[in-house]
Amino acid sequence: MKQLHATITCITLLLLSLSSHSFAQSPDLSSESKDMVRVTRHPDGTRAIYKRQSGQPGMLSMVYAPSGRLAAINEYIEGKYSQLVGCRIYNNKRQIIYKVAYGYDRNARLIEERMYTNPGGMLVQRVIYRYDAEGNRSKPIIISLNAGGNTAEITPTMRDDVNKIHRSKN
C-alpha cells in the first residue's frame, strides 16, 4: 500500500511540473471535516490529505504542492471487504487522467496494480508484488509502458494474468 501511495505521489508531482495552469487553493486544515483520516507531509514540501467519503466505501486523497495549490486528487474505491479494487486519479482540473485496478491472490494479498490512461484505456504501468514462504511481500517490480506505443487495452478482468503470476511464483 505504501508503494502505491509513493507511485501515485510520483505521478502527481510529474503532473504538477507539467502543468502551468491556475490551481485551486488548498483548504484550511481547521475547516476539514470529521472524515479526515490523516495528513502526510512529504520531504519535498507537498502534502496529501486523506479523507473518508461520506456514505461511500473508499477514500479521497487530495495532493497539494508546496505552495498549497491543488495538484491532484486520488479517489480510492473499496470492495465488499474493504480491499482496494480501484483508483481514479484526477488532475488539478478534476478531470480523470488515470484509472488503477488491483489484483489479489487467493490469500487476499495484493499481487498487482495496473494503471490505465483515461480516456483511451491504454495500460501504462504495472506494479507486481511477490511473496516469500513466510508471506513477506517483496519490493515491487514496476513495469512502465509507453502510453503512445503498442500496449494492451483495458480488459474486463485481470484474473487470468493474476493466476499466471501466482502460478509462476510457486
The predicted pLDDT at position 33 comes to: 54
Q: What are phi and psi of 7, to 5 degrees?
A: -65, -45
pTM of the model: 0.62
Domain borders along the chain are 2-17+32-169
The predicted pLDDT at position 111 comes to: 94
The predicted pLDDT at position 34 comes to: 60
Amino acid at 10: C
| Listed residue (59, 17, 58) closest to 49, CA to CA | 59
What is the total residue count of the chain? Answer: 170
Give the Cβ contact number of residue 158 at 10 Å. Answer: 18
Q: What is the mean pLDDT of each run of 10 residues along the chain (170 residues)?
A: 48 38 40 68 90 82 91 90 90 92 93 92 93 93 72 40 46
Q: CA-to-CA distance for 130 and 144, rounded, in angstroms?
A: 18
